[in-house]
Structure 1
Amino acid sequence: MGEAKRKTYAAAFKAKVALEAIRGVKTVNEIGQEHGVHPVQVGQWKKEILEHAG
């Protein structure tokens, strides 16, 4: 049985998804479902951008 590899995402993809979440037009759940990413991950990316933007 091999080790499971974590899925990695490009920085541009993370930024796109996080900015969509920041805009607030859709819920984090909707955004995650559209892009195939867990909603918690979307929230983490959003938080990361907001922390570094200030």
Structure 2
Amino acid sequence: MTKQSRRKFTGDFKAKVVMEALKERSTVEELAKKYDLHPTQINTWKREAAAKLASAFDSESGNKQQEQQADQLEKLYAQIGQLKVENDFLKKKL
């Protein structure tokens, strides 16, 4: 008996199968036969896609996070600059 290795599917392939499953032009069982998959695998991919789909529309919160990170980065650079000036001043005093 030979050991079979697991098949690995690309994101493009998974997206293609999920899109066909969401269109509902054919049943999950038909898609499973067409792509040589188990129906449970297709349903799992559909659940994953549905869970991640909401984050695609959360661009507002993503923009806010980026703005907050940029503000924090600017503050940190200002603090570094201030500390460098103070350090140079103290070095001259010694």
TM-score for both structures, normalised by structure 2: 0.52
Deviations 1:16-52 (A, max 9, x none): 0011111111111001110111111011111111111
- One-letter identity of the residue aligned with 1:51: A
Q: For 1:33 and 1:2, locate their aligned partners in 2 and report how far apart those are by CA, in whole Å.
A: 24
**Structure 2 counterpart of 1:10:** 10
Residue-pair matches, total: 54
Q: For 2:17 and 2:37, locate their aligned partners in 1 and report how far apart those are by CA, in whole Å.
A: 9
Q: For 2:7 and 2:18, locate their aligned partners in 1 and report how far apart those are by CA, in whole Å.
A: 17
- One-letter identity of the residue aligned with 2:18: A
RMSD: 1.4
Report which of the two structures shows the higher radius of gyration computed on alpha carbons. Answer: 2
Q: Describe how 1:21-40 pairs up with structure 2 within 5 A.
A: 21-40=21-40
Larger RCO of the pair (alpha carbons < 8 Å, separation 6+): 1
Q: Which blocks of at least 5 consecutive residues in structure 1 are unaligned?
A: none
Q: What secondary structure is seen at the aligned counterpart in 1 of 2:9?
A: coil
Give the structure with the higher percent helix: 2
The runs of 4+ residues in structure 1 deviating greater than 6 Å are none
TM-score for both structures, normalised by structure 1: 0.85
